[in-house]
Structures are given as C-alpha cells and as structure tokens.
C-alpha cells in the first residue's frame, strides 16, 4: 500500500486520538520528500503548540518550523487574523472593524470552521505550497466544517439577496452609510419586511442597526467567502485530495468513524483512509500472563482492539495502523509516527 | 434522599474519552439515589440537516432525550411572539436558517435556553448533558456572553442575561471534564478546564477514565515492557496530579456499553 501525494490532505476524526500529532508527522514526512508543505491546525494541545512554535505573535500567522532536521510551514488558525487578511486582500477594511464581526471572530466565537475554509483557499492560492495539510476541528464538528461550504452558499443565496436590498433602503432612511445595494433594490419581498419586524420585537432596535451593518459588510466580502466554495470541488476530487479519518484503539469507537464517513459521504471519494492510532497489538502479542486476573486484562485489551479492527476493516477499504508510542516527549511521538508514514508513502 | 441544588451537570472533554458512557452512568447513579434525572444530548448543530425531531426514550430505566435544534428554536420563538404560525414560518425562512447555520454559537444559545426552560417546568429535574467536545464546549459556554454583548437590549438580551446567571451559578451548574490517564489527554483536559474557567465561575472538576493503574498496581513486573511503561506513566501521572483529579475510574473489563455503564455507577458519588 502506498499513498500518493495530493494538493490537499484532510485529517478529521474524534478528538484526543493524536490527530494533530499524526497530521504533523504526515506534514513532516511530505516535507522530507521535498514537498513545500503548509500545516494548518485549529486547536492543538499546548506541548505541540510549543513544539511548532505557534504561541504569542505566531498565532494566526504562517510560521516556519524546523522539526527533526526538516522545515515546514505551520499556521494555527486565529479567526481574527483570518478576518484581517480577508479585509486586506479584498480591500474591505470595515470587515475587521465591525463590532458584531469582532465578537463572532473571537477564538471561540464559533466562526472557526467557516474561516478555516477561507484560509485554506487563500493559502493555497498564494502558490507557495505543494500540499496543504489540514487538521480539522475534532469530532462530529468536522461535519460543521464540511457543511460550512454549504452554509457559505446558503448565506449568499439568491433568495437571501432580498434582505440586503431591504436593509439598504432602511439604512438609507435612517441616514446611515449605504453600500452598493442599488441594483437589487427591486426585489423586495414582503416576507423579509415582516421577518425584520418580528426580529425587532425581540432584539431591540440597536441590534437591528448593528446587524444590518454587519450583514452588509460581510456581504461586501462575499467574494472571499464564495471562493471557499470552489474548494469544495477540489476536496471532492480524487486527484486533488486525500482524506484521513483518525480514531484510536483507546477510544474503541468504530461507530463514530463510520458515522463520520457516512455524514461526509458527498465529500469523501475512494481515496480515504482510516487511521487507527495507539495500537497495542504488537505489545500484547509478546505477553503470556499465567494469573487469571491478568489473563482477563490481556483478553479485555486484546479483545477490544480486535473487535475494533474487525469492524473497521469491514467498512473501510484501507486501515492504516499506527502503534501506541509510549513516551512522554512529543518529539519522540512525531519521530515514530513520521517513520510509520514513511512506510506508507512513496519515497522521493 | 439527600437534597441537591444542582440541576445541570455538563460532561465534556475530547472525543472518545467516555463522556457518553460516563454521563449515562451518572444519570443511573442519580436515579438510584432517588433523584429525578435525565440524560440529554444535542442532535444537530444546524438547521436543515436530516432531523427526526426531539426524541425521548427510556433505556434500562434511564430517560434519554435528544434535542432537535429546529424544534427548540420554534418553541422559543413561539413563546416570545405568542404565535405558532409565525414561529413555524420564521424557522423556515432562508434568512433565519442561514443565520443560525453560519454562527454555531447561536444553536447552543437555543439549546441552553431549552434546558433552562425544562428546569422551569420541572424544578426537581436534574439534566445531565453529554456536551460537545472541547472546542465546542468553549463556544457553548461563551455563547451566552457573546450574544448578550451582541444584543444590547430587547427580550433576547434579557433572556440571555437570565441564562447567563443560571449557567454561571455554582449552586445550579457543574462541569465535569473527562480525561484519559495519558499525559496528552491530561494536558488537554487541563487546558480545557483553564479555558472554561476564564468563561464561567462554576466548579469544574476533572475525572480520569479508563485507568490501568491502580488496577495493575501489584502486577507491574508481570507486564510486557511497553504495557508496563504505559501503566507506570499512568501511575506517575495520577500520583503527581492526584489533588487535581476528582475521580479516578478503572478500566472496565466488560465489553458492552451498558455493562460498562453499570460497572462505573458505584464509583460516581464524588461527581455530585
């Protein structure tokens, strides 16, 4: 089994399985093969953050990292920084200054997934990288990440344009600055007007004004958001993207991995791999306890792992196994896992 | 029956640390101690996903509720505007759907509102929430504060203010972060706890799940090298951080989820 290299590699899976460490090891493996690699990560554990040098000023900025003698680039997502880059690139400075946009783009404001899509697109467009390795947010929220593409579309949906025209008129009356909404002013639906009336009943008037402004500003930057959409086709394409679904023996949850895949079925093509981390099989093989309680422990550990592998092999075309690295040093982990990736990847 | 003021227990932690098993087991513990308790999860994070509506079932005597976002949103709006027709229409409008879906914090606000509403209807009910994993737990806890800042006045502003007061009341809410006994998992649990602490004054305890130590304490020499090192690492981690660990739960030798749940019940009194 060898893995071919694509422009995008997506790591997803339930958290706490060593997903970020595996993704980092993969990025390092690609870089050792001479690729220009950018690793984008969302929420790494602190030790890994330290190892990658992604603290302080480096948060949200592409940083060159030297790991085990190889260089790669890494970026720790900061929604705020992404918004600033968008504002600069698309010349929409208001985007970075709007109060509501600022609150929502706080680190846990909830815009991480959607902005990570925009970030991947902007970074790849820069032409500086052969491969972008993306470590997605953990758990079922990987699904949010996938859906974010659809959300961008629905946010800028044609139906939705109606609201801008209505809002444009309203702010004009209120004597506020009006953005270029003229061409769509004809399509005012009474539905939108009614909805805003109700909204105002519960939210108060100040919110409506701020909100209108936020929506208009986001709308001005729609090109940046919509560009994220073109990524959708590339991630779907077998020639451009490898998908890695990560789980671990410790978790013992085949079901979650299967569910992840079925939720993501419109995205995932044949080139997807189940990565099973922290396997104890080799370790347990050499153990022959003779006391009954230890036999029970061995059977429990071995039985759970075998059952998991059996279930996974039934549903995934390829299962890549990685042994549990028993070491306290994250560098050791990355080194062992990079070696393991080497055995799966073509040498260059 | 001992009296208990807390009405909301939130279990969070990285995926796969055993949150679901542990929260169900904790509901069982509460029920066995004559409390009225329910296991609760959020079914979906966005509108328009395939959904089956809020569902409730009883499994081995434990009530399990899976909340549906659209139903909760409709219920809230209906209450506020006094009209079923208008609320059904609002949640179907593309604008409303797009708004909720673009901003996940909104969906948590709706869910948390529903949980507090359930508490109003039945003041004795204890909700055990099998909450979203790490990053999203922070989004959830922060959502009330963020939205209170976003809405500066109006009914929603007042409602989020009330929610915030409840969620931030240590007598009402408690958060359990679940971890595995590995260094990485432990550090992530500490980071999550620190993140949560910045956002809420309620008690946040860490429970360590699935421990080989002290189960294998007397058998260390009999283990193969790697496994021994794993158990020793656990031992070191547990000994060094004992004071930070609310509860240490042993590896269960059972295979089935319900049997594992039952194995744990006896060890959960500290989670109250």
Residue A184's pLDDT is 35
Q: Does the beta carbon of B83 lie under 8 angstroms from any beta carbon of chain A? A: no
On whether residue A3 sits in a domain, the answer given is: no
The reported pTM is: 0.81
On whether residue A2 sits in a domain, the answer given is: no
Q: Are A199 and A119 in contact (CB under 8 A)?
A: no
Residue A170's pLDDT is 52
Q: Which of A202, A223, A244 is the last residue of a domain?
A: A223
More confident residue, B259 or B25: B25
Angle between helix axes B84-92 and B69-81 (nearest 10 degrees) is 140
> Which of chain B's residues have a Cβ under 8 Å away from the Cβ of A141?
45, 132-133, 135-136
Least confidently predicted of A3-7, B29-33, B241-245: A3-7
Residue A161's pLDDT is 53
In Å, how far is A205's CA from the nearest CA of chain B? Answer: 8
Residue percentage of chain B with pLDDT more than 90? 49
Let me know whether A42 and A116 are in one domain: yes
When divided into structural domains, chain A yields a total of 2
In Å, how far is A283's CA from the nearest CA of chain B? Answer: 6
Q: Measured at the alpha carbon of residue A276, what is the angle toward residues B12 and A285, in degrees to the nearest 5?
A: 115
- What CATH code is carried by the domain that includes residue A32? 3.40.50.300
Residue B100's pLDDT is 79
Residue A164's pLDDT is 55
Q: Are B106 and B96 in contact (CB under 8 A)?
A: no
In Å, how far is B216's CA from the nearest CA of chain A? Answer: 8
Let me know whether A188 and A247 are in one domain: no
Nearest residue of A to residue B236 by CA position?
Answer: A328
Mean pLDDT of chain B: 88
**Token pair for residue B124?**
């004795």
> What mean pLDDT is predicted for residues B189-197?
92
Q: Does the beta carbon of B163 lie under 8 angstroms from any beta carbon of chain A? A: no
Q: Does the beta carbon of B13 lie under 8 angstroms from any beta carbon of chain A? A: yes
Nearest residue of B to residue A323 by CA position?
Answer: B226
> Which of chain A's residues have a Cβ under 8 Å away from the Cβ of B44?
none
Residue A174's pLDDT is 47
> Which of chain B's residues have a Cβ under 8 Å away from the Cβ of A42?
135
**H or E element at residue A202:** helix A190-203
State pLDDT tens for residues B34-78. 999 999 999 887 776 667 789 999 998 899 999 999 999 999 989
State pLDDT tens for residues B127-175. 999 987 766 788 888 888 888 888 777 788 888 888 889 999 999 999 9
* CB burial readout A321-347, b (16+ within 10 A) else e: bbbbbbeeebeebbbbbbebbeebbee
Cα–Cα distance for residue pair A98/A217, rounded to 1 Å: 8
Residue B17's pLDDT is 82
| Residue B161 CA from chain centroid, whole number | 21
| Contact yes or no for B155 and A160 at CB 8 A | no
> What mean pLDDT is predicted for residues B217-221?
90
How many A/B residue pairs have CB atoms within 8 Å? 203
Let me know whether A147 and A192 are in one domain: no
Q: Which domains does chain B have, with CATH numbers?
A: 8-271 (3.40.50.300)
Q: Does the beta carbon of B172 lie under 8 angstroms from any beta carbon of chain A? A: no
On whether residue A207 sits in a domain, the answer given is: yes
In Å, how far is A93's CA from the nearest CA of chain B? Answer: 20
pLDDT along chain A (348 residues), means of 10: 86 79 94 94 77 86 92 92 91 86 79 81 92 79 58 58 54 45 40 67 71 75 75 83 87 70 72 90 91 91 90 89 86 93 74
State pLDDT tens for residues B77-100. 898 888 898 888 888 877 777 777
Residue A56's pLDDT is 84
């Amino acid at each position: 089994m060898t893995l071919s290299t694509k422009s995008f590699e997506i790591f997803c899976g339930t958290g706490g399985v060593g997903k970020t460490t595996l993704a980092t090891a993969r990025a390092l493996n690609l870089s050792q093969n001479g690729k220009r690699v950018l690793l984008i990560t969302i929420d790494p554990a602190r030790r890994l953050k330290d190892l990658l040098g992604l603290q302080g000023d480096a948060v949200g900025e592409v940083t060159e990292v030297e790991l085990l003698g190889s260089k790669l680039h890494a970026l720790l997502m900061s929604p705020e920084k992404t918004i600033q880059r968008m504002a600069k690139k698309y010349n929409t400075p208001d985007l970075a200054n709007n109060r509501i946009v600022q609150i929502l783009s706080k680190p846990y404001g909830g815009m991480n997934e959607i902005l990570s899509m925009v970030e991947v697109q902007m970074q790849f467009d820069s032409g500086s990288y052969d491969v972008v390795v993306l470590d997605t947010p953990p758990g079922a929220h990987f699904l949010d990440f996938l859906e974010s593409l659809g959300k961008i579309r629905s946010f800028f949906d044609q139906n939705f344009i109606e609201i801008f025209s209505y809002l444009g008129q309203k702010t004009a009356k209120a004597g506020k600055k009006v953005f270029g909404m003229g061409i769509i002013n004809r399509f005012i639906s009474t539905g939108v007007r009614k909805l805003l009336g109700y909204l105002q009943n519960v939210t108060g008037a100040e919110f409506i004004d701020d909100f209108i402004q936020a929506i208009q500003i986001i709308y001005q930057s729609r090109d940046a958001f919509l560009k994220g959409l073109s990524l959708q086709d590339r991630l779907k394409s077998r020639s451009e993207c490898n998908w890695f679904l990560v789980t671990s023996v410790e978790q013992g949850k085949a079901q979650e991995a299967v569910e992840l895949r079925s939720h993501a079925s419109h995205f995932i093509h044949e080139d997807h791999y189940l990565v099973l981390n922290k396997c104890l099989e080799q370790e347990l093989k050499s153990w022959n306890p003779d006391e009954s309680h230890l036999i029970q422990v061995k059977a429990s550990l071995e039985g759970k792992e075998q059952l998991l592998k059996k279930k996974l092999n039934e549903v995934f075309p390829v299962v890549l196994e990685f042994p549990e690295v028993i070491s306290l040093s994250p560098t050791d982990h990355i080194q062992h896992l990079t070696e393991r990736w080497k055995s799966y990847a073509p040498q260059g | 029956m001992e009296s208990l003021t807390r009405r909301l227990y939130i279990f969070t932690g990285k995926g796969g640390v055993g949150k679901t098993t542990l929260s169900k087991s904790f509901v069982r513990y509460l029920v066995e101690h004559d409390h009225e308790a329910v296991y609760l999860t959020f079914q979906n994070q966005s509108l328009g996903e395939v959904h089956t509506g809020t569902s409730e079932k009883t499994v081995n005597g434990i009530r399990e509720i899976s909340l549906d976002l659209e139903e909760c949103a409709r219920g809230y709006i209906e209450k506020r505007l006094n009209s079923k027709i208008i609320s059904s229409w609002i949640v179907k409008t593309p604008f409303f759907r797009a708004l909720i879906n673009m901003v996940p914090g909104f969906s948590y606000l709706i869910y948390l509102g529903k949980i507090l509403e359930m508490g109003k209807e039945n003041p004795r009910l204890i909700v055990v929430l099998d909450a979203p994993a790490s990053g999203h737990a922070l989004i959830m806890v922060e959502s009330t504060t963020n939205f209170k800042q976003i809405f500066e006045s109006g009914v929603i502003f007042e409602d989020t203010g009330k929610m915030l007061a409840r969620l931030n009341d240590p007598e009402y809410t408690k958060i359990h972060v679940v971890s595995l006994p590995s260094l990485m998992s432990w550090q992530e649990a500490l980071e999550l706890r620190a993140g949560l602490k910045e956002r809420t004054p309620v008690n946040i305890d860490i429970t360590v799940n699935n421990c080989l130590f002290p189960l294998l304490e007397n058998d260390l020499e009999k283990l193969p090298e790697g496994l021994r090192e794993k158990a020793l690492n656990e031992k070191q981690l547990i000994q060094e951080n004992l004071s930070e660990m609310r509860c240490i739960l042993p590896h269960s030798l059972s295979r089935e989820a319900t049997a594992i749940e039952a194995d744990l019940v006896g060890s959960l009194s500290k989670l109250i």
